[in-house]
Chains A and B, each alone.
Chain A
Amino acid sequence: MKKIGILILAILSVTIYSCEKADEIGPNDKNSLSLNFDNMVGTEDLVMGSKTYTNTSGEKFTVTTLNYFISNIELKKADGSVLKYADQYFLVKESDKASQTVTLNDVPAADYVSLTYTVGVDSAKSVTDVSKRTGVLDPASYGADNMYWSWNSGYIFFKMEGNSDNITATNKKYQFHIGGFGGLSAPTANNLKKITVDLSASNAKVRKNIAPEVHISVDVQKVFGANIKLAASPIIMNPTLGVPVSANYKNSFALEHVHNDAM
């Protein structure tokens, strides 16, 4: 009996010890934290190409392109302090699975209670010297799938294209190219959307052995909302026309869940 008692005690102490270890935050511990963007239509996973969906206005549509920039990620701790990842820009493309996971490296171990990010490329970067436009901001990096307006300097923050039989034009194509950082030489429409995600239900727990994954769903159904009708405005390619679209797609982005699994 005594032996069993010691054994239980031993097991318990190991368990307690390991629990403590898992939750322990070493001052120099770091790990990555990733955001996983899952493009959806309502509750279904988005299938690009021929699959036809119906929007709120009852119009049929397909999606052939869906790209958007994610930038200015900020992580907030319970004590209110904020970690900013200012100079990291990501281009998420439905056509490129790897691009849908946005990874921040060397994030200090802590419990993060909220997350903020911007859909688009902030105004400072939108006017910066060409030598600082590298990676996904390189205007030559897009090939035929352009994310840069050359005629009205600026990035296309959010691009969604497809077809709809409700469009009267013979090619049946809709093109939503949403950009506009507020203008440099004159004030123009600003379609930068800052999104804050409350993670407090589970927190994102960065530990030496935990690299949290924050899953975010992006419902393209909400891009149309009740007010964007394909038959009425299939081509949206300037900042002002894009204002109601960006107001809608801000609501497309929603937290699904957070994985805090030990590695």
Chain B
Amino acid sequence: MKNSIFAIFFLLIPAIFSCQKNGSTAIDPNTPLFAIPEGFPAPKYKMESNPVTADGFLLGKKLFFDGRLSRDGTISCAECHNQAYAFTHHGHAISHGIEGRVGIRNAPGLMNLAWQDKFFWDGGVFDLDLFSIAPIQNPNEMDETVTNVIEKLKKDKDYPSLFKKAFGTEEITTQRFLKALSQYMLTLVTANSKYDQYAAGKATFSNDEKEGLRLFTEKGCAGCHPAPLFTDHSFRANGLDTGYFRDTLDIGRGRITEQKGDDFKFKVPTLRNIAYTFPYMHDGRFQTLEEVLEHYNSGITNMTNLDQAFKKNVKVGIPISAIEKKQLVAFLNTLTDEDFLKDKRFSY
């Protein structure tokens, strides 16, 4: 008995030590870092090309929180992607980067990225592994070159051994750097909201929540935001007045495809954790879900390429009454996944 207590004690010491060393909570080897939730489709990311391992994930996490990815060391990925707000830039309509420079769009939440194959509001990047290059090199975000980042990591005292743990040798390459970041981002899976519990018969909905769910389908919201991912990953123009506040016109998807038919279309975002991802829309113009619903009710501009979903009545938009709005918001709030927002594995 005494011996086994000693044994437990000795087992605990390295566990505690390793926690401190990684600046994070130890990873439970019995819980896979990445798993496909019940009812989710197959991932679009080629998981076999970059299997998520504990060491790869921890390296990716350290990189995600490392300000040295930016030119002057001030801006890490986590700066604009804060876990407590579903990896969005809390309270910022438009993200600001290095030296207070502002970008052009709202930082989207990082959730269920394994099921996406087009990144950014305009879908300009088609591979998660290639994504991180963009914020690093954007002059308004991190204003650094990947070349320099790799050099900085090579000179660091910790990174070479962390790369060895994750990839077998101390060599720090672009490929390993990007794959490690992907491993961290791939684990950001959210699928345990009250809605998920309800769908699995493990939780009950209030009358407002139930009515909200019914309206969600009836009003056509689910057309673009279908469960379980609550997005169909399409690009659509949702009637946002284009002259909102910027000098330059943001044509969204049209900038990438250079097809007139794609002008002013932006990616349909997931509604998971939507209560925490405000402000809303690609330019962060709405602060609350009520404002968003009011936009669909009365604020839609009959613009170029306006989506058909808003053209079902003589007047463009989707009529939503005050009571319906309240019920829809009640339902949208059930998409919050507290476990995800507070999962200590993701924090640094």
State how many angstroms separate the Cβ of A142 from the closest Cβ of chain B. 7
The reply on B101 being an interface residue by CB < 8 A is no
Complex Cα spacing A143 to B125, Å: 20
Interface string of A139-158 (1 = CB under 8 A from B): 11111101010111100000
Of B118, B123, B175, B257, the contact of A133 (CB 8 Å cutoff): B175
Q: Is the interface of B mostly helix, strand, loop or mixed?
A: helix
Total number of A-B contacts with CB less than 8 angstroms?
85
Q: Which 4 A-B pairs have the closest CB atoms?
A: A140-B146, A150-B134, A140-B174, A130-B129
Cβ of B49 and Cβ of A142 under 8 Å apart? no
Interface string of A236-249 (1 = CB under 8 A from B): 00111000000000
Cβ of A129 and Cβ of B46 under 8 Å apart? yes
Of A146, A153, A238, the contact of B126 (CB 8 Å cutoff): A153
Interface stretch (choices A43-51, A87-95, A181-189, A202-210): A181-189
Chain A residues with CB below 8 A from B138, complex form: 150-151
- Can you name 8 A-B residue pairings with CB atoms under 8 Å? A134-B173, A138-B174, A140-B150, A150-B130, A151-B124, A153-B127, A153-B130, A185-B118
The reply on A81 being an interface residue by CB < 8 A is no
State how many angstroms separate the Cβ of B217 from the closest Cβ of chain A. 28
Cβ of B49 and Cβ of A131 under 8 Å apart? yes
Complex Cα spacing A26 to B118, Å: 52
Cβ of B129 and Cβ of A188 under 8 Å apart? no
Within 8 A of B (CB), among A36-57: none
Closest to A152 in B: B124
Cβ of B147 and Cβ of A183 under 8 Å apart? no
Interface string of A211-248 (1 = CB under 8 A from B): 00000000000000000000000000011100000000
Complex Cα spacing A240 to B150, Å: 33
Assuming the contacts A140-B145, A140-B150, A152-B256, asked whether A184 and B126 have C-beta atoms less than 8 A apart, the reply is yes
Assuming the contacts A139-B146, A150-B138, asked whether A130 and B174 have C-beta atoms less than 8 A apart, the reply is yes
Complex Cα spacing A240 to B263, Å: 15
State how many angstroms separate the Cβ of B330 from the closest Cβ of chain A. 35
Of B120, B127, B175, B259, the contact of A151 (CB 8 Å cutoff): B120
A interface, size bucket: 20 to 34
Cβ of B179 and Cβ of A131 under 8 Å apart? yes
Cβ of A133 and Cβ of B174 under 8 Å apart? yes
State how many angstroms separate the Cβ of B183 from the closest Cβ of chain A. 13
Closest to A189 in B: B258
Of B117, B145, B175, B259, the contact of A130 (CB 8 Å cutoff): B175
Cβ of B129 and Cβ of A143 under 8 Å apart? no
Within 8 A of B (CB), among A111-151: 127, 129-131, 133-134, 138-144, 146, 148, 150-151
Closest to A142 in B: B147
Q: Which of A146, A185, A189 has the most chain B CB atoms closer than 10 A to its own CB?
A: A185
Of A130, A146, A184, the contact of B137 (CB 8 Å cutoff): A146
Complex Cα spacing A130 to B178, Å: 8
Q: Which residues of A contact B (CB under 8 A)?
A: 127, 129-131, 133-134, 138-144, 146, 148, 150-153, 183-189, 238-240
Chain A residues with CB below 8 A from B54, complex form: none
Cβ of A150 and Cβ of B259 under 8 Å apart? no
State how many angstroms separate the Cβ of A239 from the closest Cβ of chain B. 6
Closest to B174 in A: A140
Interface string of B156-179 (1 = CB under 8 A from A): 000000000000000001110111
Cβ of A186 and Cβ of B257 under 8 Å apart? yes
The reply on B79 being an interface residue by CB < 8 A is no
Complex Cα spacing A129 to B178, Å: 11
Chain B residues with CB below 8 A from A188, complex form: 256-258
The reply on B149 being an interface residue by CB < 8 A is yes
State how many angstroms separate the Cβ of B237 from the closest Cβ of chain A. 15
The reply on B262 being an interface residue by CB < 8 A is yes
Complex Cα spacing A188 to B261, Å: 13
Complex Cα spacing A151 to B132, Å: 10
Chain A residues with CB below 8 A from B27, complex form: none
Cβ of A140 and Cβ of B130 under 8 Å apart? no
Complex Cα spacing A238 to B124, Å: 12
Cβ of B130 and Cβ of A186 under 8 Å apart? no
State how many angstroms separate the Cβ of A172 from the closest Cβ of chain B. 20
Cβ of A142 and Cβ of B145 under 8 Å apart? yes
Closest to A183 in B: B257
Chain A residues with CB below 8 A from B137, complex form: 146, 150
State how many angstroms separate the Cβ of A32 from the closest Cβ of chain B. 28
Cβ of B256 and Cβ of A129 under 8 Å apart? no
The reply on B133 being an interface residue by CB < 8 A is yes
Chain B residues with CB below 8 A from A131, complex form: 49, 175, 179
